[in-house]
Structure 1
Amino acid sequence: MTVRWEKKAMAHKPVAASPVLTAADAAAQVGLTVRALRVYEARGLLDPPRTEKGWRLYGPREFQRLGIIQALKSLGLSLAEISRVLAGDTPSLRRVLEVQATLWRGRLAAAQAGLDLVQQALARTDTTPISVDDLCILIRRLDMTTLPETLRTVLAEDYTAEQRADLLTPTGTPEAAAEGARAWATLIADIQALRTAGVPATDARAKDAAKRWQGLTAAFTQGDAAVAARTGGLWQKALARDPQGQGLPFDKGLWDYVAEAARS
């Protein structure tokens, strides 16, 4: 441990210096990579002091800054938005509150959807004894209350409690529902990769992804065109409210990319 000496009237008393870590040790302590720290530094979010040999040092000031950055990232802000917030940009601070409001509205809607399901189950017990199968169905419905928060907020605004309960009832077996969720996650990741690589929507690979999207949509809506139209409208409204996809599985850019690929 390094020490510094504080001179006093009649004695020299050793005082332990504040802990200072290298970039590698600092990254390990906060659960990041050294590369992430470099990105933060390149974006102007961090400015750690350096030794004569160029080693970056992270002390209390840098750790405090990292804590703020990670907190803002957890709110869904981009690094550019975080930079503006740290610079004291009032509109960006407002953005933080708007994101939080969206998140809490989603949580409130999720709680309301869960309450709707339980109350409906309770109401049915007045005339019909509840069975184990009924409980299993209720549990599956409650599991579906983990839908994206922005989407759930729109659901709460546009659908009655009964409609929400029907929509949240998964079709098929739990295994089939899980397989469908994995298929959607894989497809979204594949499309993101195409966009990142700069593949145009007119490319055969993009068209193939659009066909996969249509296939999964047909499976989800059981081939009902009216349900498909309502579902599409629901997503469009959610993406209009959250175009960056902060509280959704994908952003509006991906939605538009798939639509263009399907048309071409």
Structure 2
Amino acid sequence: MTAYSIGELAKRSGITVRALRYYETQGLLAPLRTESGQRVYGTRDILRLQQIQMLKQAGFSLAQIKTMMAEQAVDAARLLGMQQELLQARLAETDAMLETVTSALRAVREGQTVDLSTLCSIIKQGESAMSEEKWQKVWDTYYTAEEQERWKAAKEAVPEDVQKACERNWPTLIARTEALVGTDPAAPEAQAIVKEWNAMTQVIYDVDPSLMRSAARMYDDMDNWPKDGPVSPFSKEVWDFIKAAEAAAES
């Protein structure tokens, strides 16, 4: 009979111990307990965990997954409809990135100069948009399952036109920030950049301010992201410069 401790299951499944415990508090998993109180995961638990992860990858929230797994008969039309909405959202993200690349290409063909930093930022943004599975490894490392649910809810609350505007403007903003790395973070140019930067990120934090600390912790530690994880949209030097500019603004 298959039987794993919580640590063994976390190692075999690639899911953090913290996430497994959270799934249990949400009623998604119900492992047996030994006399000493240790969790024991059997075949049924492993199958449920696989279902949870597949539905999560399909874009469903934990609340939605709990409802679906509790139903005796799956509502196929509802399930497929939700998957359709997810794919349409991903398509919209890809379209927004394509629009950014197309605009940059048009500028080049019209004789405008596009510097290397901007080109690299656009490419990085494109890589990030197409690497959902790689990003999940970072999110699982730095965010609890509950925080991930809050991130998803906060993003969904941001108007679509605002999201698209941010996606279009990020590459240029990052490139402009890279060009200032090494300069005085208290200088007017740096202070203008950090105001733009904060305005872009604030659209999420206005919905849920508690997410700001988790995001800062994740980027503070970007040098230790999983080796098979995503390419960060900006360098550690850019992040450190933004933090220094913020500190200068507060002093």
- Where on the TM-score scale, by shorter chain, does this alignment land: which range? 0.3 to 0.5
- When normalised by structure 2's length, the TM-score is 0.47
Q: Which has the higher helix share?
A: 2
- More contact order relative to length (CA 8 Å, sep ≥ 6): 2
Bigger Rg, which one: 1
